[in-house]
């Protein structure tokens, strides 16, 4: 059986219409997609700008908090330690201020004075000096303490000496 040429032509025409319709629909979908993409890009730019503004504001707020925040425990000193620094600041570097003198002057025990002196030495605020030879008590060597620049800096920055 031979196909009618009109049927064949009709089939080709139907195929052409379907393909052409699909192309038009695809083109419409593509145009819609491009519009949505453009809107999304604008929204991304707007959100990126807002994020940058928030980050800048966050940095400003951190600076303000840091200015008003109390120093952490590592940078603050106990009252006895501060008094030791003040006492040493009243002596020149040639003075031989011993731990016993510091303990007596501040009315604290020798162990407490030694503890705070060693802590201050660890913070690079005081220096333990050793003297060879005999001292007043007849010992062969002894140690004395002097104030270092970091100790002076702490006192000046905290307005404890002028």
Residue 107 counted as domain residue: yes
pLDDT at 5 over 70: no
Number of domains the chain is built from = 2
Task: From 46, 69, 92, give the residue that closes a domain.
Answer: 69
Q: pTM of the prediction? A: 0.52
Do 62 and 113 have their domain in common? Answer: no
Span 32-87, pLDDT tens digits: 888 888 888 899 999 999 999 999 999 889 888 877 765 544 567 899 999 999 99
Residue 12 counted as domain residue: yes
Residue length of the chain? 162
Do 118 and 83 have their domain in common? Answer: yes
- pLDDT band, very low/low/confident/very high, at 113 (cuts 50, 70, 90): very high
| Residue 90 belongs to domain spanning | 79-157
Instruction: Please list the alpha-helical segments (H only) found in the chain.
Output: 5-68, 79-89, 99-106, 110-122, 149-157
Tell me what pLDDT residue 105 has. 92
Render the burial of 87-111: b for 16+ CB within 10 Å, e for the rest. bbeeeeeeeebbbebbbeebebeee
pLDDT at 17 over 70: no
Query: Which CATH number fits the domain that encloses residue 153?
Result: 1.10.10.10
């Amino acid at each position: 059986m031979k196909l009618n040429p009109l049927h064949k032509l009709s089939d080709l025409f139907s195929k052409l219409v379907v393909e052409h319709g699909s192309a038009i629909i695809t083109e419409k979908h593509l145009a819609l997609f491009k519009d949505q993409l453009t809107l999304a890009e604008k929204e991304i730019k707007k959100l990126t700008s807002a994020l940058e503004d928030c980050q800048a504001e966050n940095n400003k707020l951190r600076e303000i908090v840091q200015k008003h925040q109390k120093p952490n425990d590592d940078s603050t000193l106990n009252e006895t330690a501060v008094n030791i620094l003040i006492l040493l600041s009243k002596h020149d570097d040639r003075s031989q201020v011993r731990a016993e003198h510091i303990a007596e002057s501040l009315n604290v025990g020798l162990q407490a004075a030694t503890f705070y002196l060693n802590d201050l030495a660890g913070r690079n605020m005081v220096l333990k000096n050793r003297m060879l030879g005999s001292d007043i008590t007849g010992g062969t060597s002894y140690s004395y303490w002097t104030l270092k620049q970091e100790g002076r800096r702490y006192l000046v920055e905290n307005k404890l000496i002028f």
